[in-house]
Amino acid sequence: EAGVTQFPSHSVIEKGQTVTLRCDPISGHDNLYWYRRVMGKEIKFLLHFVKESKQDESGMPNNRFLAERTGGTYSTLKVQPAELEDSGVYFCASSLTGGSPLHFGNGTRLTVT
Amino acid sequence: GQQVMQIPQYQHVQEGEDFTTYCNSSTTLSNIQWYKQRPGGHPVFLIQLVKSGEVKKQKRLTFQFGEAKKNSSLHITATQTTDVGTYFCAAPSGAGSYQLTFGKGTKLSVIP
């Protein structure tokens, strides 16, 4: 079974630019999550999809972040416009059911300069 | 919101020594999960503990969930260089929530 894949693995952008991260969950996993780890800090929840619906987006920091999961398959997370504090590693994870163990992707390391 | 405190933040051990990381919460947890992230890698699920006082073993790893379900520990016996990485505990953020709150992690270094 293919794991969770994320693209790109690294992204370096300037403040004010836009970046879109993509996540392909494990096939058949209805639950898709986005988490973020800022340097030296804990992994923090951003949001949770069940199929194409946003189940919980309480962790989204502000309206510069937009997540979509059209068709309930892959998901994108857009940051527009990016700010310096958005730098970090963005992890996508999927699970078969809500509450079951998470399968993480390799993450996208975002650097905003 | 809920916080999960994890200590220590760093641990350097000689190969063959034991290692323990601890997680504590001020609230009762429905369950606690443990993940391991190798350097340059992503978090990988190790185990989930659900029952009060539960103890589970995976080879040299022993996981415990406290009687009050407010604390947990991961103990590694006779560490090996392959144990290097950051170990995270994680727990649901609230009743019925699928959002996980992670501890800050314990970064383990093993000196050969």
Beta-carbon separation of A45 and B101 below 8 A: yes
Beta-carbon separation of B42 and A107 below 8 A: yes
Q: Token pair of B75, please?
A: 């103990």
User: Given this model, what pLDDT does residue A2 score?
Assistant: 79
Beta-carbon separation of A101 and B33 below 8 A: yes
User: Exposure pattern of A15-50 as b/e (b: 16+ CB <10 Å)?
Assistant: eeeebebbbbbbeebbbbbbbbbeeeebbbbbbbbb
User: Given this model, what pLDDT does residue A72 score?
Assistant: 86
Beta-carbon separation of B41 and A102 below 8 A: no
Q: What is the mean pLDDT of residues B20-28?
A: 96
Going from the C-alpha of A22 to that of each of A49, A102, A108, the distances in angstroms are: 14, 17, 9
B101 touches chain A (CB under 8 A): yes
User: Is the preceding peptide bond at B112 cis, omega within 30 degrees of 0?
Assistant: no
Chain B contact probe: residue of A26, A39, A42 with most B CBs at under 10 A: A42
The residues, any chain, with a CB within 8 Å of residue A9's CB and separated by 6 or more, are: A106, A107, A108, A109
State pLDDT tens for residues B77-112.
Answer: 999 999 999 999 999 998 778 999 999 999 999 999
User: Given this model, what pLDDT does residue A70 score?
Assistant: 86
Q: What is the DSSP string of A58-93?
A: TT--STTEEEE-GGGS-EEEEESS--GGG-EEEEEE
DSSP A41: S
Q: Say if strands A53-56 and A43-50 run parallel, antiparallel, or are unpaired.
A: antiparallel
Length of chain A: 113
What percent of chain A has pLDDT above 70? 99
Q: How confident is the model at residue A1 (pLDDT cuts 50, 70, 90)?
A: low
Q: CB B1: neighbour CB atoms within 10 A?
A: 9
Closest-CA distance of chain B to residue A75, Å: 17
